[in-house]
Amino acid sequence: MRIIVADNYEAMSKIAADNIQEVITEKNDAILGLATGSTPIGTYEELIKRYEEGKIDFSKIRTINLDEYIGLHPNHNQSYRYFMNEKLFNHININKENTYVPNGSAENIDEEAKNYDKIIENLGGIDIQILGIGNNGHIAFNEPDKALNVGTHVTSLAQNTIEANSRFFESLDDVPKKAVTMGIGQILKAKKILLLANGKNKAEAIKGILSGKITTDNPATMLQLHSDVTLIIDKEISDEIINCN
């Protein structure tokens, strides 16, 4: 595992963008696995800037997102499809038909989940997967549990995830309680994984990734099984980890 400590959020975002740009430079039709949430926003801003400067061409790029809330229409302003359009796709030369986000308002959501794995397979697999991490160690919406799922599936959000995500909604009650998410097995199939984390509330979860132990209580610990993971954390997290030891 490659561990990079960035001075701050801006530096973390630039390093993440460097890694993504490198993959696109090598393969102009790369499959990017994308995440939502507050963590990758700076990375997407950096990618937009590089597109505007003529440094990255997204015309042949395909993207596949990790997850979506169940019950939110793609046009809902808190849906992850809406987020991706607003934060990235509307500002670059990507063909939106080549961008995939699970449809959280599909009539048959289990079918939607199954098809999502087929889409990934048909695309030929993910070249680089961007991940954020929950305070509880969730990646995508694979929450701590007795067992973790391999493929894309429907899941219930942990109470602390609902609370953490309520900052984007008008009230706690408005936060969807279920999501459709890629499974851990699917994430581990990506050729490269880039996990970004900033802020000391993520330190405990990150410690797990560095512990040499794997536990379903911290799903992100599974990343230790992958041979090409780059962890980009900010100084706040590294200071917190060092101070606790």
- Tell me, what amino acid is at 87? K
Q: Whats the size of the chain, residue-wise?
A: 245
- Tell me, what amino acid is at 208? G
Shortest distance in whole angstroms from residue 25 CB to ligand F6R: 25
How many other CB atoms sit within 10 Å of the CB of residue 7? 9
Q: Which helix (H) or strand (E) holds 20?
A: helix 9-26
Angular region, 235: left φ>0, alpha ψ -120 to 50, beta rest: alpha
* 138 has catalytic annotation: yes
The residue range among 108-116, 132-140, 152-160, 220-228 that interacts with ligand F6R, by the rule CB under 6 A, is: 132-140
User: Between residues 33 and 50, which has the closer beta carbon with respect to ligand F6R?
Assistant: 33
Does 238 help bind ligand F6R (rule: CB under 6 A)?
Answer: no
Query: Could you give the 3-state DSSP secondary structure of residue 222?
Result: helix
- Figure out which of the listed residues 50, 62, 87, 138 binds ligand F6R, where binding follows CB under 6 A: 138
- Figure out which of the listed residues 39, 129, 149, 152 binds ligand F6R, where binding follows CB under 6 A: 39
Among 143, 234, 236, 240, the active-site one is: 143
Does 180 help bind ligand F6R (rule: CB under 6 A)?
Answer: no
* 136 has catalytic annotation: yes
User: Between residues 105 and 166, which has the closer beta carbon with respect to ligand F6R?
Assistant: 166
Report the alpha-carbon angle 17-222-147, nearest 5. Answer: 130
User: Between residues 14 and 29, which has the closer beta carbon with respect to ligand F6R?
Assistant: 14
* 67 has catalytic annotation: yes
Shortest distance in whole angstroms from residue 202 CB to ligand F6R: 7
CA distances from 6 to 34, 49, 197, 198 (A): 21, 20, 10, 9
The DSSP letter of residue 6 is E
- Figure out which of the listed residues 32, 35, 48, 232 binds ligand F6R, where binding follows CB under 6 A: 35
Does 153 help bind ligand F6R (rule: CB under 6 A)?
Answer: no
Tokens 């701590």 -> residue: 144
**How many Å apart are CA 1 and CA 173, to the nearest integer?**
39
Catalytic residues: 67, 136, 138, 143
> Contact positions toward ligand F6R, by CB under 6 A?
35-39, 66-67, 132-134, 138-140
